[in-house]
Every structure is written in structure tokens, then in C-alpha cells.
Amino acid sequence: MLNHVFGNTTGIKITYFSLFSCFLLFTGFIYTSEVPQTILKNEQHELAVKGKQLWQKHNCVACHQFYGLGGYIGPDVTNVLSATGKGEPYVRAILQNGTATMPDFKLQQHEIDALVGFLKEADATGKSGREHFSIDATGQIQNTPQTNIKP
């Protein structure tokens, strides 16, 4: 079987082309598949976009994570606004002054507003903590309760 498929250049080229075609189709699916819709109004969404620019400008991802992706020196901030004992005043205080390990970025009030707006949008996409997931029969994890992704 292997000899038949990979024993000649034509077989190799056909396999490569077939895989590449599947890759292109899969890529198209990923680009267009449904993702959680933003629940923020237009004006708030624009603020969140500005917040995201600031997030990148200060390279926050070097220390923090969304959905567990990023650096580990700082905490995951996906749901920092809705977490018990945290919330907006807590986030604003940290952004204003830094912490023992996070530098004070000397942010202006409007920049703090934008970053909070971005965190609000992130919070609305779903829950990232382990306690929000259950394991199904196949070993795959499912977010419970369901996030606001469309079926």
C-alpha cells in the first residue's frame, strides 16, 4: 500500500496536492466560522478596539493570558472583571498604579477606560477557568454553561 502511494513521484504529488487542498478548505472554514458575538454597543466596541491596541502597545501578553494563552508571570485576565472579589474598581486600581510585580505604565484615564473596555469585551466571549468546563464521553472539554457562541 505504502509502496503504491509513495513509491513514485506522481503518488507523492497527488498526496501533497490533496492534503494542501484540504488545508485550504479548512483554512476557509476557520476564517468564516461563527465566533461569540460581541454584546457591546458600537461605541463601547470602538473603545474595546482602542484598548486592544494599548494591550499590544504595552506588550501585556508577555505576562498575562486570555484563555490560558500568553505569559505566566501575571494572571489570566479573560474574566478578571466578572471574577469574585475582583471586578472593575480592582482592575482600574491596578492599571492606575501597577503592582509589586507589574510596572506602572503611567496610563492616562482615557487609556484605562479603553483597556477596561477591551477586558469587558474579552469577558463577554466566554469563561476560561477550569471550573467552567466539563469533560464529555470522547475526552473533549465543553464549556458549561454554554458560552454565547451561535450553534
Partner 1 sequence: MNRHIGFLFMATGLLFLLAGIMFGILGGVFYLFPQELRDALPFTKIRPLHVSAIVFWILFAAIGGLYLYLPKYKKKHSARLGIWHYLLLLIAATAILGCYFTGIFGGREYWEFPPILALPIAASFILLGINFYKSMRKNKEPWPAYRWMWLTGIIFFLLSFTESYLWLIPYFRDSLVRDMAVQWKSYGSLVGSWNMLINGSALFIMEKLSGDRTMARKPLTFSMFFLGLFNLMFNWGHHIYSLPVNDFIRYTAYIVSMTELLILGKIILNWRSTLSEAKRNKHLLPFRFMTAADIWIFLNLFTAILMSVPALNLYTHGTHVTVAHAMGTTIGINTMLLLASICYACTRFLGKLSSKSIRWVNKGLYFGNISLLVFWLALLGAGISKAMLQTQNPSIAHGLLMQQLKPWFIGFTLSGAGIVAGLVMVIVPLLHFMITKKIKLNTQTAHKLLQHS
Q: 103 or 108: whose CB is closer to partner 1?
A: 103
Which of 40, 44, 63, 113 lies at the binding interface for partner 1 (CB under 8 A)?
Answer: 63
Distance, CA of 15 to CA of 145 (rounded, Å): 42
Min dist CB 110 to partner 1, Å, is 19
Q: What does the per-residue mask of binding to partner 1 show for 15-54, with x meaning CB under 8 A?
A: xx--x--xx--xx-xxx-xxxx-x------x---x--x--
Whether residue 5 contacts residue 17, with contact meaning beta carbons closer than 8 Å, is answered with no
90 binds partner 1 (CB under 8 A): no
Counted residue by residue, the chain has a size of 151
Three-class DSSP labels, 40-97: CCHHHHHHHHHHHHHHHHCCHHHCCEECCEECCCCCECCCCCCCCCCCHHHHHHHHHH
Backbone φ and ψ for 142, nearest 5 degrees, come out as -130, 135
Residue 73 CB, nearest approach to partner 1 (Å): 5
**52 or 112: CB nearest partner 1:** 52
Q: Is 133 in the site for partner 1 (CB under 8 A)?
A: yes
Give whichever of 84 and 108 is closer to partner 1, judged by the CB atom: 84
